[in-house]
A = this chain, B = another copy of it.
Amino acid sequence: MKKTIFVFSSLIVALLALFQLSKYSYTTGDLSIEIIIAAIAIIFLCLGIYLNKKSLHKTTPITTKVDYEKIEKLGISKREYEVLVEISKGLSNREIAEKLFVTESTIKTHVSNVLVKLNSKRRTQAIKKAKEYHILTS
């Protein structure tokens, strides 16, 4: 909000400056009106893009970020989270084991722990809940 006010203020100043410049050039003929108009057009085009980007980011976050605090709150460890990520990619326990260079048995342990911590009965349910908690990017 502070930034928006700042941007607006500085643009009003810039606009006034251009008005003065246009008046000055009107009398002296140093700068052509076309150039001034073009400059104003470009400035306001950029302003429109900037303002729109701001508002869109606020209403609908485009890049859904991972809520790491929530992961901690749920007591999910670093390794358990790694496993959860691989689960959401559709990998089997064996495939995850190969990817993380551990045995399938270890993965099973991690998966069981994750299921308890996400209060889920199945890995599919865990995926769904993890996305609801913003632990996984959908």
Interface centre among A19, A48, A88, A123, by most B CB within 10 Å?
A: A48
A87 contacts chain B at the CB level, 8 A cutoff? yes
Binding site for B on A (CB under 8 A): 15, 18-19, 22-23, 26, 33-34, 36-37, 40-53, 56, 60, 62, 87-92, 120-129, 131, 138
Establish whether residues A128 and B90, one from each chain, have CB atoms under 8 Å apart when the complex forms.
yes
Determine the residue in chain B with the shortest Cβ distance to A89: B128
Establish whether residues B22 and A90, one from each chain, have CB atoms under 8 Å apart when the complex forms.
no
Establish whether residues A125 and B18, one from each chain, have CB atoms under 8 Å apart when the complex forms.
no
Contacts of A122 in B (CB 8 A): 90, 92
Establish whether residues A124 and B123, one from each chain, have CB atoms under 8 Å apart when the complex forms.
yes
